[in-house]
Amino acid sequence: MDAKLVLGDEEWRRRLTAEEYEVLRGHGTERPWTGCFVGTHEPGTYLCAGCGSPLFRSGEKFESGTGWPSFTRPVTPGAVVEHRDLSHGMVRTEVRCGRCDGHLGHVFPDGPPPTGLRYCLNSVALRHRPDP
């Protein structure tokens, strides 16, 4: 993994669109079924929209029926980090980029085998790099 990327708020606002900033830096959530990666199946790697770090492989993507792109596991153990999220009157596990700490979404213990995990992510927090 590349070195940690730490930028000031002003630099993040310059680098990101308003929607990317709201999700990645403001811990927002896009509306279900509106993201560009819901229902996509192109081979490749999903990268952090904030820093370009590889996060998930397309082979780990599955249709969860939730309205957000879902994956069973990250590309490497340190690609994402987890944080306890007590917002909105719930206890959830937030998922952030391991490099830039950008908010990606949440992970839930109701996914398919082999991990039993569902990484439920915001499309706006991701970029797709197709396989060559």
Q: The tokens 């085998």 sit on which residue? A: 113
Cβ partners under 8 Å of residue 121, min gap 6 = 46, 56, 68, 69, 70, 71, 95, 104, 105
Q: What are 96's strand-pairing partners?
A: 81, 103
Q: Which of 48, 97, 100, 120 is catalytic?
A: 120
CA distance 107 to 39: 19
The verdict on whether 120 is a catalytic residue reads: yes
Residue numbers annotated as active site:
120
